[in-house]
Amino acid sequence: MIADTLRRIQTKKGISVYAGAKDGKVRKLDPSDGSVIWTSADFGDSAYGLACDPDGYVYVGPDDGKVRKLDPSDGSTLWTSADFGSCAYGLACDPDGYVYVGAWDGIVRKLDPSDGSVIWTSTDFGNDARGLACDSDGYVYVGTYDGKVRKLDPSDGSTLWTSAAFGSCAYGLACDPDGYVYVGAVYGIVRKLNPSTGSVIWTSTAFSTHAWSLACDPDGYVYVGVQEGYVRKLNPSTGSVIWTSTDFGNDARGLACDPDGYVYVGVQEGYVRKLNPSTGSTMWTSADFGDDARGLACDPDGYVYVGTYDGKVRKLDPSDGSTVWTSDAFGTQAYGITTNYYAGWGI
Protein backbone atom coordinates (compact mmCIF):
# COMPACT_ATOMS: atom_id res chain seq x y z
CA MET A 1 0.00 0.00 0.00
CA ILE A 2 1.09 3.55 -0.71
CA ALA A 3 1.38 6.38 1.70
CA ASP A 4 -1.36 8.90 1.89
CA THR A 5 1.19 11.61 1.84
CA LEU A 6 -0.57 14.89 1.00
CA ARG A 7 1.33 17.70 -0.65
CA ARG A 8 0.13 21.22 -1.30
CA ILE A 9 1.81 23.06 -4.17
CA GLN A 10 0.40 26.30 -5.54
CA THR A 11 1.72 26.53 -9.08
CA LYS A 12 1.96 29.43 -11.48
CA LYS A 13 -0.59 27.89 -13.86
CA GLY A 14 -4.36 27.61 -13.94
CA ILE A 15 -6.21 24.65 -12.48
CA SER A 16 -5.14 21.32 -13.94
CA VAL A 17 -6.33 17.83 -13.05
CA TYR A 18 -4.26 14.69 -13.66
CA ALA A 19 -5.24 11.05 -13.27
CA GLY A 20 -2.94 8.03 -13.21
CA ALA A 21 -4.48 4.58 -13.46
CA LYS A 22 -3.71 0.88 -13.43
CA ASP A 23 -3.15 0.93 -17.22
CA GLY A 24 0.10 2.85 -16.79
CA LYS A 25 -1.10 6.04 -18.45
CA VAL A 26 -1.59 9.58 -17.18
CA ARG A 27 -4.45 11.75 -18.43
CA LYS A 28 -4.91 15.48 -18.13
CA LEU A 29 -8.58 16.29 -17.63
CA ASP A 30 -10.45 19.49 -18.37
CA PRO A 31 -11.67 20.67 -14.94
CA SER A 32 -14.82 22.15 -16.51
CA ASP A 33 -16.22 18.93 -18.00
CA GLY A 34 -13.82 16.03 -17.34
CA SER A 35 -12.91 15.53 -20.99
CA VAL A 36 -9.43 14.21 -21.72
CA ILE A 37 -7.06 16.94 -22.90
CA TRP A 38 -4.22 14.50 -23.48
CA THR A 39 -3.15 10.96 -22.69
CA SER A 40 0.48 10.14 -22.00
CA ALA A 41 2.43 7.27 -23.46
CA ASP A 42 1.89 3.85 -21.92
CA PHE A 43 4.33 3.47 -19.01
CA GLY A 44 3.50 -0.17 -18.38
CA ASP A 45 1.48 -0.51 -15.22
CA SER A 46 0.17 1.37 -12.19
CA ALA A 47 0.89 5.06 -12.82
CA TYR A 48 0.10 5.91 -9.21
CA GLY A 49 3.03 8.14 -8.26
CA LEU A 50 2.11 11.68 -9.39
CA ALA A 51 3.43 15.11 -8.48
CA CYS A 52 3.41 18.63 -9.91
CA ASP A 53 6.28 21.08 -9.47
CA PRO A 54 5.82 24.84 -8.87
CA ASP A 55 6.01 25.49 -12.63
CA GLY A 56 3.24 23.00 -13.39
CA TYR A 57 5.32 20.18 -14.85
CA VAL A 58 4.04 16.69 -14.09
CA TYR A 59 6.06 13.74 -12.80
CA VAL A 60 4.90 10.16 -12.81
CA GLY A 61 6.36 7.11 -11.08
CA PRO A 62 4.84 3.81 -12.25
CA ASP A 63 5.47 0.18 -11.41
CA ASP A 64 8.57 -0.12 -13.64
CA GLY A 65 10.66 2.01 -11.27
CA LYS A 66 11.33 4.85 -13.71
CA VAL A 67 10.25 8.46 -13.30
CA ARG A 68 9.04 10.52 -16.27
CA LYS A 69 8.64 14.27 -16.59
CA LEU A 70 5.62 15.22 -18.69
CA ASP A 71 4.95 18.42 -20.58
CA PRO A 72 1.70 19.80 -19.12
CA SER A 73 0.70 21.25 -22.50
CA ASP A 74 0.58 17.96 -24.42
CA GLY A 75 1.65 15.09 -22.13
CA SER A 76 4.80 14.35 -24.09
CA THR A 77 7.64 12.73 -22.16
CA LEU A 78 10.43 15.27 -21.63
CA TRP A 79 12.75 12.75 -20.01
CA THR A 80 12.82 9.28 -18.46
CA SER A 81 15.02 8.59 -15.45
CA ALA A 82 17.23 5.60 -14.89
CA ASP A 83 15.56 2.41 -13.70
CA PHE A 84 15.26 2.43 -9.89
CA GLY A 85 14.00 -1.14 -9.59
CA SER A 86 10.24 -1.09 -9.22
CA CYS A 87 7.34 0.81 -7.66
CA ALA A 88 8.56 4.40 -7.94
CA TYR A 89 5.39 5.51 -6.15
CA GLY A 90 6.94 7.85 -3.59
CA LEU A 91 7.21 11.21 -5.36
CA ALA A 92 7.58 14.74 -4.04
CA CYS A 93 8.71 18.12 -5.36
CA ASP A 94 10.38 20.71 -3.15
CA PRO A 95 9.72 24.47 -3.32
CA ASP A 96 12.57 24.88 -5.82
CA GLY A 97 11.18 22.24 -8.19
CA TYR A 98 13.63 19.43 -7.47
CA VAL A 99 12.14 15.95 -7.63
CA TYR A 100 12.52 13.19 -5.05
CA VAL A 101 11.65 9.58 -5.63
CA GLY A 102 11.40 6.70 -3.18
CA ALA A 103 11.09 3.21 -4.61
CA TRP A 104 10.81 -0.41 -3.57
CA ASP A 105 14.58 -0.72 -3.08
CA GLY A 106 14.45 1.49 0.02
CA ILE A 107 16.51 4.28 -1.51
CA VAL A 108 15.59 7.93 -2.11
CA ARG A 109 17.01 9.82 -5.09
CA LYS A 110 17.04 13.53 -5.87
CA LEU A 111 16.54 14.16 -9.58
CA ASP A 112 17.53 17.15 -11.66
CA PRO A 113 14.27 18.53 -13.09
CA SER A 114 16.03 19.61 -16.29
CA ASP A 115 17.10 16.13 -17.42
CA GLY A 116 16.17 13.52 -14.78
CA SER A 117 19.76 12.77 -13.84
CA VAL A 118 20.40 11.62 -10.29
CA ILE A 119 21.89 14.41 -8.15
CA TRP A 120 22.31 12.19 -5.12
CA THR A 121 21.32 8.78 -3.80
CA SER A 122 20.53 8.20 -0.13
CA THR A 123 21.78 5.31 1.89
CA ASP A 124 19.80 2.08 1.63
CA PHE A 125 16.95 2.17 4.14
CA GLY A 126 16.03 -1.46 3.62
CA ASN A 127 12.80 -1.67 1.70
CA ASP A 128 9.90 0.38 0.38
CA ALA A 129 10.81 4.07 0.70
CA ARG A 130 7.43 5.23 -0.49
CA GLY A 131 6.46 7.59 2.32
CA LEU A 132 7.85 10.98 1.20
CA ALA A 133 7.23 14.57 2.22
CA CYS A 134 9.05 17.89 1.84
CA ASP A 135 8.71 20.73 4.33
CA SER A 136 8.60 24.42 3.43
CA ASP A 137 12.39 24.68 3.82
CA GLY A 138 13.00 21.86 1.35
CA TYR A 139 14.05 19.17 3.82
CA VAL A 140 13.00 15.68 2.84
CA TYR A 141 11.37 13.11 5.10
CA VAL A 142 11.11 9.45 4.22
CA GLY A 143 9.11 6.72 5.92
CA THR A 144 9.99 3.12 5.12
CA TYR A 145 8.94 -0.45 5.73
CA ASP A 146 11.11 -0.73 8.84
CA GLY A 147 8.86 1.77 10.64
CA LYS A 148 11.46 4.51 10.85
CA VAL A 149 11.41 8.07 9.55
CA ARG A 150 14.56 9.80 8.30
CA LYS A 151 15.22 13.47 7.64
CA LEU A 152 17.46 13.99 4.63
CA ASP A 153 19.61 16.98 3.77
CA PRO A 154 18.39 18.23 0.37
CA SER A 155 21.90 19.31 -0.62
CA ASP A 156 23.52 15.87 -0.48
CA GLY A 157 20.99 13.29 0.75
CA SER A 158 22.81 12.66 4.00
CA THR A 159 20.68 11.43 6.90
CA LEU A 160 20.28 14.21 9.47
CA TRP A 161 18.41 12.01 11.91
CA THR A 162 16.66 8.66 12.14
CA SER A 163 13.62 8.26 14.35
CA ALA A 164 12.92 5.36 16.64
CA ALA A 165 11.29 2.33 15.02
CA PHE A 166 7.51 2.65 15.05
CA GLY A 167 6.72 -0.98 14.26
CA SER A 168 6.62 -1.17 10.48
CA CYS A 169 5.23 0.57 7.39
CA ALA A 170 5.77 4.23 8.32
CA TYR A 171 4.03 5.30 5.13
CA GLY A 172 1.69 7.99 6.43
CA LEU A 173 3.66 11.25 6.47
CA ALA A 174 2.60 14.88 6.66
CA CYS A 175 4.22 18.20 7.56
CA ASP A 176 2.19 20.98 9.16
CA PRO A 177 2.57 24.71 8.36
CA ASP A 178 5.14 25.07 11.16
CA GLY A 179 7.33 22.24 9.87
CA TYR A 180 6.43 19.59 12.42
CA VAL A 181 6.33 16.05 11.10
CA TYR A 182 3.57 13.51 11.66
CA VAL A 183 3.89 9.82 10.98
CA GLY A 184 1.27 7.08 10.93
CA ALA A 185 2.26 3.42 10.91
CA VAL A 186 0.93 0.02 11.92
CA TYR A 187 -1.20 -0.40 15.04
CA GLY A 188 -3.03 2.82 14.13
CA ILE A 189 -0.69 5.08 16.07
CA VAL A 190 0.25 8.62 15.04
CA ARG A 191 3.36 10.39 16.32
CA LYS A 192 4.44 14.01 16.15
CA LEU A 193 8.17 14.38 15.58
CA ASN A 194 10.49 17.25 16.36
CA PRO A 195 11.87 18.31 12.96
CA SER A 196 15.22 19.26 14.49
CA THR A 197 15.96 15.94 16.20
CA GLY A 198 13.34 13.36 15.19
CA SER A 199 12.38 12.84 18.81
CA VAL A 200 8.76 11.99 19.56
CA ILE A 201 6.81 14.96 20.93
CA TRP A 202 3.64 12.95 21.47
CA THR A 203 2.13 9.56 20.66
CA SER A 204 -1.56 9.10 19.99
CA THR A 205 -3.62 6.24 21.26
CA ALA A 206 -3.83 3.16 19.03
CA PHE A 207 -6.69 3.67 16.61
CA SER A 208 -6.67 0.50 14.52
CA THR A 209 -4.46 -1.68 12.37
CA HIS A 210 -3.09 0.98 10.02
CA ALA A 211 -2.89 4.79 10.24
CA TRP A 212 -1.58 5.50 6.75
CA SER A 213 -3.92 8.35 5.81
CA LEU A 214 -2.76 11.66 7.27
CA ALA A 215 -3.53 15.27 6.44
CA CYS A 216 -2.92 18.66 8.05
CA ASP A 217 -5.32 21.55 7.54
CA PRO A 218 -4.24 25.20 7.08
CA ASP A 219 -4.40 25.73 10.85
CA GLY A 220 -2.15 22.77 11.61
CA TYR A 221 -4.76 20.35 12.92
CA VAL A 222 -4.08 16.72 12.10
CA TYR A 223 -6.54 14.26 10.60
CA VAL A 224 -6.04 10.52 10.48
CA GLY A 225 -8.05 7.95 8.54
CA VAL A 226 -7.73 4.34 9.62
CA GLN A 227 -8.47 0.89 8.29
CA GLU A 228 -11.62 0.49 10.38
CA GLY A 229 -13.30 3.38 8.58
CA TYR A 230 -13.06 6.20 11.10
CA VAL A 231 -11.50 9.66 10.81
CA ARG A 232 -10.13 11.47 13.84
CA LYS A 233 -9.08 15.06 14.37
CA LEU A 234 -6.05 15.38 16.64
CA ASN A 235 -4.89 18.32 18.71
CA PRO A 236 -1.46 19.21 17.29
CA SER A 237 -0.21 20.29 20.72
CA THR A 238 -1.02 17.09 22.60
CA GLY A 239 -2.21 14.42 20.16
CA SER A 240 -5.49 14.13 22.01
CA VAL A 241 -8.57 13.27 20.00
CA ILE A 242 -10.79 16.30 19.37
CA TRP A 243 -13.45 14.27 17.59
CA THR A 244 -14.06 10.88 16.04
CA SER A 245 -16.27 10.52 12.99
CA THR A 246 -18.97 7.93 12.61
CA ASP A 247 -17.96 4.56 11.20
CA PHE A 248 -17.80 4.83 7.41
CA GLY A 249 -17.36 1.10 6.83
CA ASN A 250 -13.81 0.18 5.92
CA ASP A 251 -10.51 1.72 4.87
CA ALA A 252 -10.81 5.50 5.32
CA ARG A 253 -7.77 5.82 3.12
CA GLY A 254 -8.62 8.70 0.80
CA LEU A 255 -8.16 11.91 2.81
CA ALA A 256 -7.85 15.56 1.81
CA CYS A 257 -8.43 19.06 3.21
CA ASP A 258 -9.64 21.93 1.04
CA PRO A 259 -8.37 25.55 1.24
CA ASP A 260 -11.03 26.40 3.84
CA GLY A 261 -10.11 23.48 6.08
CA TYR A 262 -13.03 21.17 5.29
CA VAL A 263 -12.17 17.48 5.38
CA TYR A 264 -13.02 14.89 2.74
CA VAL A 265 -12.78 11.15 3.17
CA GLY A 266 -13.16 8.36 0.63
CA VAL A 267 -13.66 4.76 1.74
CA GLN A 268 -13.63 1.25 0.35
CA GLU A 269 -17.40 1.19 -0.07
CA GLY A 270 -17.12 3.86 -2.79
CA TYR A 271 -18.52 6.91 -1.01
CA VAL A 272 -16.95 10.31 -0.32
CA ARG A 273 -18.02 12.37 2.70
CA LYS A 274 -17.44 15.99 3.61
CA LEU A 275 -16.80 16.45 7.32
CA ASN A 276 -17.29 19.54 9.44
CA PRO A 277 -13.80 20.33 10.80
CA SER A 278 -15.26 21.65 14.07
CA THR A 279 -17.34 18.60 14.99
CA GLY A 280 -16.55 15.75 12.58
CA SER A 281 -20.20 15.51 11.60
CA THR A 282 -21.00 14.48 8.03
CA MET A 283 -22.10 17.47 5.95
CA TRP A 284 -22.89 15.36 2.88
CA THR A 285 -22.37 11.90 1.43
CA SER A 286 -21.73 11.44 -2.27
CA ALA A 287 -23.41 8.93 -4.52
CA ASP A 288 -22.10 5.37 -4.42
CA PHE A 289 -19.20 5.15 -6.87
CA GLY A 290 -18.91 1.39 -6.62
CA ASP A 291 -15.71 0.57 -4.81
CA ASP A 292 -12.55 2.11 -3.39
CA ALA A 293 -12.97 5.90 -3.47
CA ARG A 294 -9.40 6.36 -2.37
CA GLY A 295 -7.86 8.79 -4.87
CA LEU A 296 -8.73 12.31 -3.61
CA ALA A 297 -7.54 15.83 -4.40
CA CYS A 298 -8.88 19.38 -4.12
CA ASP A 299 -8.43 22.42 -6.34
CA PRO A 300 -8.02 26.07 -5.20
CA ASP A 301 -11.77 26.65 -5.48
CA GLY A 302 -12.52 23.75 -3.16
CA TYR A 303 -13.87 21.32 -5.75
CA VAL A 304 -13.12 17.69 -4.98
CA TYR A 305 -11.84 15.08 -7.42
CA VAL A 306 -12.15 11.37 -6.67
CA GLY A 307 -10.66 8.42 -8.53
CA THR A 308 -12.15 5.00 -7.93
CA TYR A 309 -11.70 1.32 -8.71
CA ASP A 310 -13.85 1.55 -11.85
CA GLY A 311 -11.19 3.74 -13.47
CA LYS A 312 -13.33 6.86 -13.52
CA VAL A 313 -12.70 10.29 -12.05
CA ARG A 314 -15.54 12.42 -10.68
CA LYS A 315 -15.64 16.11 -9.82
CA LEU A 316 -17.79 16.82 -6.79
CA ASP A 317 -19.48 20.07 -5.83
CA PRO A 318 -18.18 21.02 -2.36
CA SER A 319 -21.53 22.56 -1.40
CA ASP A 320 -23.60 19.38 -1.63
CA GLY A 321 -21.43 16.50 -2.94
CA SER A 322 -23.30 16.26 -6.22
CA THR A 323 -21.35 14.95 -9.19
CA VAL A 324 -20.40 17.78 -11.54
CA TRP A 325 -19.00 15.39 -14.12
CA THR A 326 -17.79 11.82 -14.55
CA SER A 327 -14.86 11.04 -16.81
CA ASP A 328 -14.57 8.13 -19.17
CA ALA A 329 -13.32 4.87 -17.65
CA PHE A 330 -9.53 4.66 -17.77
CA GLY A 331 -9.33 0.90 -17.29
CA THR A 332 -9.40 0.33 -13.54
CA GLN A 333 -8.01 1.81 -10.33
CA ALA A 334 -7.71 5.54 -11.08
CA TYR A 335 -6.07 6.07 -7.73
CA GLY A 336 -3.35 8.52 -8.71
CA ILE A 337 -5.17 11.87 -8.60
CA THR A 338 -3.36 15.19 -8.60
CA THR A 339 -4.32 18.78 -9.19
CA ASN A 340 -1.61 21.37 -9.61
CA TYR A 341 -2.73 22.79 -6.29
CA TYR A 342 -3.13 19.80 -4.05
CA ALA A 343 -1.98 16.25 -4.53
CA GLY A 344 -3.68 13.48 -2.62
CA TRP A 345 -2.58 9.87 -2.24
CA GLY A 346 -5.07 7.19 -1.94
CA ILE A 347 -3.48 3.81 -2.38
Q: How far, CA to CA in Å, does 91 sit from each of 62, 66, 100, 105? A: 10, 11, 6, 14
Mean local confidence (pLDDT), 236-255:
93
pLDDT in tens, 290-338: 989 989 999 988 999 999 999 999 999 999 999 999 999 998 898 889 8
**Whether the Cβ atoms of residue 109 and residue 118 lie closer than 8 Å to each other:** yes
The pLDDT score that the predictor gives to residue 329 is: 93
pLDDT in tens, 137-165: 899 999 999 999 999 999 999 999 999 99
For residues 30 and 174, give the distance between their C-alpha atoms in angstroms, rounded to a whole number. Answer: 29
**Whether the Cβ atoms of residue 258 and residue 265 lie closer than 8 Å to each other:** no
Q: Which residue has the higher pLDDT, 75 or 177?
A: 75
Amino acid identity of 19? A
pLDDT at 4 exceeding the cut of 80? no
pLDDT in tens, 329-342: 998 898 889 887 64
Q: Which residue has the higher pLDDT, 260 or 69?
A: 69
The pLDDT score that the predictor gives to residue 341 is: 66
pLDDT at 221 exceeding the cut of 90? yes
Task: Calculate ∠ Cα 238-239-241, nearest 5°.
Answer: 115
The pLDDT score that the predictor gives to residue 13 is: 57
Q: Cβ neighbours of residue 76 under 8 Å, at least 6 residues apart?
A: 70
Q: How far, CA to CA in Å, does 125 sit from each of 36, 105, 120, 130, 134? A: 39, 8, 15, 11, 18
The pLDDT score that the predictor gives to residue 98 is: 95
The pLDDT score that the predictor gives to residue 141 is: 96
Q: Give the dihedral sign, CA 241/243/247/252.
A: negative
pLDDT at 46 exceeding the cut of 70? yes
For 98, the 3-state DSSP assignment is: coil
Q: Which residue has the higher pLDDT, 218 or 232?
A: 232
For residues 8 and 26, give the distance between their C-alpha atoms in angstroms, rounded to a whole number. Answer: 20
Amino acid identity of 38? W
For residues 320 and 341, give the distance between their C-alpha atoms in angstroms, rounded to a whole number. Answer: 22
Residue 343 confidence class, pLDDT cut points 50, 70, 90: very low
Q: How many residues does this entry show for the chain? A: 347
* Percent with pLDDT over 90 in the chain: 67
pLDDT at 347 exceeding the cut of 60? no
**Cβ-based neighbour number of residue 240 at 10 Å:** 13
pLDDT in tens, 82-139: 999 888 888 999 889 999 999 899 999 999 999 999 999 999 998 889 889 998 889 9
Report the chain's mean pLDDT, rounded to a whole number: 90
Amino acid identity of 21? A
Half-sphere exposure of 9 (CA within 13 A, CB side): 32
> Strand 323-326 and strand 58-61: pairing?
unpaired
Mean local confidence (pLDDT), 30-59:
93
**Whether the Cβ atoms of residue 146 and residue 125 lie closer than 8 Å to each other:** yes
For 263, the 3-state DSSP assignment is: strand
Mean local confidence (pLDDT), 212-222:
88
For residues 90 and 168, give the distance between their C-alpha atoms in angstroms, rounded to a whole number. Answer: 17
